[in-house]
Amino acid sequence: MSAREDGQARRDARNTWLLSAPALFILTFAAAGPLLIMLVYSFLTPGDYGNVVWKFSTDAWVGTVLSKDIFDGTYSLADAHLTIFWRSVKLSLITTFFTFIVGFPTAWIIATRSPRMRTALLFLITIPFWTNLLIRTFAINQIIRNEGLLNTFLLYLGVIDEPLLIIYSDFAVFLGMTYVYLPLMVLPLFAAIDRFDMRLIEAAYDLYASRWQVLRRVILPIVRPGIVAGSILVFIPALGAYVTPRILGGGRNMMIGNFIELQFGQGRNWPLGAALSVLLLVIVAVALVFYVRITSRESSNG
Amino acid sequence: MAQDDAIEARSSRKVYGTGPEAVVALDDVSIAIRKGEFFTLLGPSGCGKTTLLRMIAGFETPTAGQILLNGRDITDAPPNLRPVNTVFQSYALFPHLSVRRNVGFGLQMLGRPASEIDQKVERALAMVRLGEMADRKPTQLSGGQQQRVALARALAPSPEVLLLDEPLSALDLKLRKEMQSELKRLQHELGITFIFVTHDQEEALTMSDRIGVMSAGRLLQVGSPREIYNHPVNRFVADFIGETNFLPAEVSGGVATIAGGIAIPVDAGSPEGAHTIAIRPEHVRILPQDAGAAMRGTIAETTYFGTDSHVRLRLDGGADLVARYQSDTAGGEAPPTGAEVGVSFTPGAVQVLED
């Protein structure tokens, strides 16, 4: 390598660092920093009126899954916490599954339209992003509440005699999250299906595959990266959802997000809130590693 | 229908769209393809040859007419219920499956036992000489190798008819020649009916037992390569297959009279009246001026092609002709531009065309 090429390479390397510096700065201080603070706080003692006392304690971490009896000091499983964790995981999984069931045909239809039609449909998919999440969730609330649009309409038609009790239930939370996160499933699926070579369908069909086999043996395995991306994009925010369960689930149907908020607010237990947050992060990370490993194994033994 | 027809199309018609925008892709095509023959559908793009092939495969439903396989009506059967496999122009290999799984796909879908699949896949891969590539993914193969995988995949389930949709068009010339003889060899060995679609007339002539020439949704002529080349039914076929000189002529009593009153003997049974006559360049002989030839002409241009030269010349009567001049014949070099020469046609080589 000549001296000039060497200098050029060094300049390129320096420019690369310079260009990525702002991003690195933001990532370090805005993402890693708060995480570190949370981790530290989770090992401290709660103050009387919120905040923390700088005294080491593992109480918060024990408290995530166990509860201490105030009278005899014995530990038992914290049923309330576990119920909330379980509800969060369950609702997030169901939401991910249903956004896929609804999103796959939607993405397929968009990807197989003419270019003009496709642009228009994709535009429609992005419209919900224009409106604030809070307002959209309140809109859903207006539709499904006891005196809401849906019930009024059904009562008027005479289909039902009493309003359907949808609002403030797990089902309402699921409904709201499916609506909110659907675009996050549709867009990566669309990107994957758009790259899919439709001629492969004819090839499989020609080689004696039934319609179901074409879907299962050819289409789904090939668009799998889109399914993985969409599932991750829906599952992670669903697991940490705050606004939707707050507005549609009422006080009783809390998810982890609400529970964490509670610790920093009325609960006045910042270390527990911090420990729960870190735990949520760990659950997501473990679930991700697990999921990616499974899906990549399935595609490599094909 | 005859007992030995593998595929028969009966007045098959395909119209896309409706009303004034309707496009007729296939216009009442009837054809019978014999068992075990290498049949080529030849024609320019948009002539309907691929539509006919896709109809036989089951990807298109005819607007009217029937498709029969071994005498059985399969017009409405979906592709997965037809013992017919296709080699696609784009190969359409499954990118997520290894070569082995690609080739075994058809048998797997038919629900054959694993041992049978393994054995047949092995045999199919050996047939196309790709045994050692079995565990690779299609993207790790060259174009020619992918082509062979596509072929092995279509042959592995032992179809009754193999359809090939311009399978060689993406290959370079040398590889194409190689695959042509390979396809021919496989067809001989397996005895399966091959229906081959191409727009390459040379490919059609060298490989086929019979050729069906198509244009604008119609089947113009069916015959052996020799028949089609030597006795084209009309101007389109004569023009599409090989090079041809067309001369307007007045035909009467076995003699065609062209511009300048030159009389050329033709088949006694030729149609009478004003017609076009066709003569292949290789049947136009250029002779020395003093050789006593029936016609005389002037060389307008000579193009050198290696084994031969194409000579454009003008007959004294005013008609333009192209002749092929073999480089190694006694004369050596083709005569120079402007040279006065004698011209004669190989006896029996002049065709009178119907239209």
The CATH number that applies at residue A110 is 1.10.3720.10
- Per the DSSP assignment, residues forming a β-bridge with A67 are A76
Q: Is A298 on the interface with B (CB under 8 A)?
A: no
Nearest chain A residue to B159, by CA: A207
Considering the domain boundaries, does residue A67 fall inside one? Answer: no
Scored b (16 or more CB within 10 A) or e, A195-228 reads: ebeeebbbbbbbbbbeeebbeebbbebbbbbbbb
Helices (H), A207-254: 211-213, 220-222, 224-239, 243-248
Task: Identify all chain B residues contacting A210, using CB atoms and an 8 Å cutoff.
Answer: 80, 109
What is the reported pLDDT for A302? 41
Q: ∠ CA A146-A149-A153 to the nearest 5 degrees? A: 100
Facing residue for A208 by CB, picked from B59, B93, B110: B110
pLDDT of residue B66: 93
In a domain, A55, yes or no: no
Do B109 and A302 lie within an 8 Å CB cutoff?
A: no
Q: In chain A, what residues touch B85 (CB-CB under 8 Å)?
A: 206-207
> Is A162 a residue whose pLDDT tops 80?
yes
Q: Calculate mean pLDDT across residues B37-59.
A: 94
At the second CATH level, the architecture of B5-235 is: 3-Layer(aba) Sandwich (3.40)
Q: What average pLDDT is seen over chain A?
A: 89
Distance of CA B201 to CAs A147, A293, B354, Å? 75, 52, 22
The pLDDT-based confidence of B291 (bands split at 50, 70, 90) is confident
d(C-alpha B264, C-alpha B270), whole Å = 12
Residues A11 and A95 in one domain: no
Gap between the Cα atoms of B241 and B229, Å rounded: 6
Q: Which residues of A fall within a CB distance of 8 Å from B79? A: 202, 205-206
Distance of CA A144 to the CA centre of its chain: 23
Q: A36 and A165 in one domain?
A: no
pLDDT band with cut points at 50, 70 and 90 for residue B1:
very low
Domain span including residue A30 = 1-41
Q: Are strands B351-353 and B340-345 parallel, antiparallel or unpaired?
A: unpaired
Considering the domain boundaries, does residue A50 fall inside one? no
pLDDT of residue B340: 87
Rg (Cα) of chain B, in Å, rounded?
25
pLDDT at A1 over 70: no
CB contact under 8 Å between B109 and A209, yes or no, is yes
Nearest chain A alpha carbon to B105: A207
With respect to residue A105, please indicate whether it lies within any of the assigned structural domains. yes
Smallest Cβ distance to A206: which of B79, B90, B98?
Answer: B79
Q: Give the best residue of A205, A206, A299 to mutate against chain B (max B CB count within 10 A).
A: A206
Residues A145 and A91 placed together within one structural domain of the fold: yes
Given this model, what pLDDT does residue B62 score?
94
Q: Are A22 and A127 within one domain?
A: no
Q: Is residue A62 part of a domain?
A: no
Asked if A210's CB is within 8 angstroms of B94's CB, the reply is no
The C-alpha atoms of residue A268 and residue B257 are separated, in whole angstroms, by 112
Contact state of A200 with B94 under an 8 Å Cβ cutoff: yes
Cα separation of A229 and A185, whole Å? 8
Q: How many residues does chain B have?
A: 355
Please check whether residues A25 and A171 belong to one and the same domain.
no
Q: What residue ranges in B316-354 does DSSP mark as E strands?
A: 320-326, 340-345, 351-353
The verdict on A203 touching B (C-beta cutoff 8 Å) is yes
Could you write out the three-class secondary structure of B145-157? HHHHHHHHHHHCC
Q: Are residues A102 and A237 in the same domain?
A: yes
Cβ of A205 and B90 within 8 Å? no
Residue A205 inside a domain? The answer is yes
Residues A141, A25 share a domain: no
Residues A30 and A85 in one domain: no
For residue B2, the model assigns a pLDDT of 54
Specify whether A167 is located in the same domain as A91. Answer: yes
Indicate if the alpha-carbon torsion angle B293, B296, B298, B304 is positive or negative.
negative
Same domain, A204 and A147: yes
What is the number of structural domains in chain A? 2
Q: Which of B266, B245, B248 is nearest to B321 (CA)?
A: B245
Residues A7 and A109 in one domain: no
Q: What is the pLDDT of residue A65?
A: 83
Please, what is the average pLDDT of chain B?
89
Choose the closest CB to B88 out of A203, A213, A221: A203
**Inter-chain CB proximity B92 and A302 less than 8 Å:** no
Task: Report the pLDDT value the prediction gives residue B332, as an integer from 0 to 100.
Answer: 64
Binding-site residues on chain B for chain A (CB distance < 8 A): 57-59, 78-81, 84-86, 88, 90, 92-98, 101, 105-106, 109-110, 153-154, 157
**pLDDT for res B331:** 55
Second-level CATH architecture of B243-353: Beta Barrel (2.40)
Comparing CB atoms, the residue among A202, A204, A299 nearest residue B59 is A202
Which of B104, B158, B114, B151 lies closest to A302, judged by CA?
A: B104
Average pLDDT value for residue range B28-45: 94
- pLDDT of residue A300 exceeding 60, the answer is no
| Contact across the interface for A199 and B90, Cβ inside 8 Å | yes
Of A198-202, A291-295, B160-164, which range is least confident?
A: A291-295
CATH 3.40.50.300 in chain B, residue ranges: 5-235
All CATH 2.40.50.140 domain ranges of chain B, comma separated, are 243-353
For residue A47, being part of any structural domain is answered with no
- HSE value, Cβ hemisphere, 13 Å, CA-based, for A137: 22
Tens digit of each residue's pLDDT (9 = 90 or more) over A49-80? 878 889 998 888 988 888 777 777 778 888 88
Lowest mean pLDDT among A192-206, B115-129, B252-266: B252-266
B160 band by pLDDT with thresholds 50, 70 and 90: very high
Mean pLDDT (whole number) for B207-218: 94
Question: Cβ of A299 under 8 Å from any chain B Cβ?
Answer: yes
| Radius of gyration of chain A from its Cα atoms, rounded to whole angstroms | 25
* A219 lies in some domain: yes
Q: How many angstroms away from the CA of A214 is the closest CA of chain B?
A: 10
Q: How far is A222 from chain B (nearest CA, A)?
A: 6
Are A276 and A160 contained in the same domain? yes
Cβ contact A203–B92 (<8 Å): yes
Q: Among the ranges A87-91, B344-348, B350-354, which has the highest mean pLDDT value?
A: A87-91
